[in-house]
Structure 1
Amino acid sequence: MKLEMSKNIATIARAKEFERRREKIVKFLKGTNDREGFIHRVFRYFLLIIIGFIYLYPLLYMISTSLMSLDDLLDVSINWIPSEFYIDNYVNAAKAMDFWKAFLDSIIIAGVPTLIQVASCAVIGYGFARFDFKGKRLMMLILIFSFILPKQVTMMPTYQLYTKLGLIGSLNAFNLSALFGQGLNAQIFILIFYQFFRQMPQSLIEAAQIDGAGNIRTFLRIAVPSAAPAILVVFLFSFVWYWNESYLTSMFVTGLGSGRTSQWTSLVVELKNFEDIYAQYNRNNQEQLRNINESIKMAGTFLSILPLLIMYVFLQKYFVESVDRTGITGE
């Protein structure tokens, strides 16, 4: 009898031990309320690796190809790692693009309208958020509709207007439109400021008014300092969009095909016409560059995005914090 009882007790103990281990394994795989499960972690990292690969593959391919010599390009056994780092591709691309002049022009073409646009969109967004006036809803509808409307629809009328005003071939084609809140994608920036200023505590505005501050002083002393996250987000987005805009820059600022061509250019415009520019450099200079190939094209492409990559490396932390504080979830 005692032997049978001891066997039953041992069986029950083994069953409890098995159940305890099973629950432990289930918790490890599925997780608990305060801890993430192994399956969820594996799936998340797998998804992040795939998404990261999709985004990084073109960049890695561009860097790898840009460092290959012509012999490496023709060698089918070399796919990713070149036999030697051939830096002359970057030297040839930089000479053909006149890199430093195009770089400085790009900073001015993208930076000046961006600064103007940040200021004008902040004023417009603050006005929509803090003042009630007749026709406000209609103007908001027009603002949203102008953002939905394809740019191709208004491109030719805008070009005709700028031609009559004598803005073609001048940086004012971007500056004046940014000043009046009609810059590149200005509608979304106005809405960002509008949403941010709407969330400001009304008590701050009332306290400033009690202290005798007018609307302009309240905007400059209270609204603008508190809107630093929105200002950074708008500045970065606007700068990148102006930097990457090649068609409108060629049409309005450079003035190609209008008879009012200027000396303004940008890295993206140079890249757009890279083959022609490369051939023209060889025709106009005694120093002949190596015949253009895929590696030189990739080197020119990487040079055109390198300043943006460097800027993002230094501003990434502040940019992520600003996006979180402004409530932007995606573009």
Structure 2
Amino acid sequence: MNKLMTKRKNIETARMKRWFIGVKGNDGLLIRTLIYGLLIGIGFVYLFPVIYMVSFSFKSLEDLLNPLVNWIPSTLHLENFKQAYQVLDFFPTLFQTLYVTILPALAQTAVAALVGYGFARFSFRLKNFLFVLVMVTFIIPPQVTLIPRYLVYSELNLLGNIQAFLLPATFGQGLNSAIFILIFYQFFRSIPKTLEEAALLDGAGHFRIFFTIAIPMAVPAIIISFLFSFVWYWNETYLAAIFFGDQLTTLPLELQKFAASYQRMFPAGMEESASQLNEGIRLAGTVLSILPLLIVYFITQKWFVEGVDRSGITGE
């Protein structure tokens, strides 16, 4: 009888342990609680500034000064977005931003794919040295080479136009190009060489193999590289302000001088400027400046996740 009771007790203990901890540490209540708690905490850290920004961008000056109005505005004050839209000169600035962002991102992705394929599939003298040299270009801060680059661009008449971004990207020296070369290098190394050897036996050349075999299989790496390149060129303000001057502008650049532009457009005595620049108007300008990026993320989220997932596939 005692043995039977002991056996039942052990079974119940094992069942409770399996329910609480799980099998081999998986799917248990404790593990799930820890994982979901961690994910909720990380998500809150990232979402809190966005929620705060969107909420306060719709607040009027009265709501901002009222301590009883916290997260939900009493009314949706769209005047903030109207003034921010005018200060940013939104659509002309957006078109210029896309112009100086998409073209260099496309050129950088294409060149990084070609260079990464060359390093992954061909053996030549000084290959390792050149690869290390490419990685060094990422380690050196751009501020170190800023003055020589500025002088060279000035002599070549590249300042004040998109060539200051496009030409370096075309020659594999765009923003963080070394990272994208490394991504393609690792990806092409994972593709089985038997595919290329079979194509060589059929008479295909290296360029044909690259465009008909390597590139279609590298779609995940292309998506990842283009999206990251697009975002980095979009957010670049330091180099853009120096190289473009007053000839070209971007939404992040206009956001940096938002206060000065607002004071110039809506002086203190102006009738339209019933409420001077406040936090709601600033945050409305911030929302407008990041809205295109959010739209891009929502549209490309599926392909981006698939690209990250598929880029982990390994070959022989």
* TM-score, with length taken from structure 1: 0.89
Structure 2, unpaired ranges of 5+ = none
Among candidates 47, 54, 57, match of residue 45 of structure 2: 54
Is 1:147 the counterpart of 2:147 in the alignment? no
Change (3 A) 1:150 1:327: farther
Is 1:314 the counterpart of 2:292 in the alignment? no
**8 A contact 2:97–2:234 mirrored in 1:** yes
Change (3 A) 1:14 1:306: same
Per-residue deviation, residues 273-300 of structure 1 (Å, max 9, x unmatched): 11111122236xx883442100000011
Where in structure 2 are the equivalents of 1:246-265 lying within 5 Å? 246-253=237-244, 255=245, 261-262=246-247, 264-265=248-249
Per-residue deviation, residues 294-330 of structure 1 (Å, max 9, x unmatched): 00000111111111111111211211111122249xx
Cα shift at 1:13: 4.9
Among candidates 257, 261, 267, match of residue 273 of structure 1: 257
* TM-score, with length taken from structure 2: 0.93
Instruction: Please report the RMSD computed on the Cα atoms of aligned residues, expressed in angstroms.
Output: 1.7
Change (3 A) 1:209 1:98: same
Code of the residue aligned with 2:212 in structure 1: it is R
For 2:36, what is the secondary structure of its paired residue? helix
Aligned partners of 1:16 and 1:205: how far apart in 2?
62
Aligned partners of 1:114 and 1:66: how far apart in 2?
31
Partner of residue 242, structure 1? 233
**8 A contact 1:192–1:326 mirrored in 2:** no
Partner of residue 85, structure 2? 94
Where in structure 2 are the equivalents of 1:1-331 lying within 5 Å? 9=1, 13-33=4-24, 35-253=26-244, 255=245, 261-262=246-247, 264-282=248-266, 288-289=272-273, 290-327=275-312
Code of the residue aligned with 1:250 in structure 2: it is A
For 2:145, what is the secondary structure of its paired residue? helix
Code of the residue aligned with 1:54 in structure 2: it is V
Code of the residue aligned with 1:291 in structure 2: it is Q
Per-residue deviation, residues 32-90 of structure 1 (Å, max 9, x unmatched): 14951100111111111111111111111101110111001001122211111111111
Higher deviation after alignment, 120-129 or 230-239: 120-129
Aligned length: 310
**Percent of pairs identical after alignment?**
46
Aligned partners of 1:272 and 1:134: how far apart in 2?
47
Cα shift at 1:200: 1.4
Per-residue deviation, residues 107-126 of structure 1 (Å, max 9, x unmatched): 11110101111111111111
For 2:243, what is the secondary structure of its paired residue? helix
> Greater Rg, structure 1 or structure 2?
1
Partner of residue 6, structure 1? none
Cα shift at 1:16: 4.0
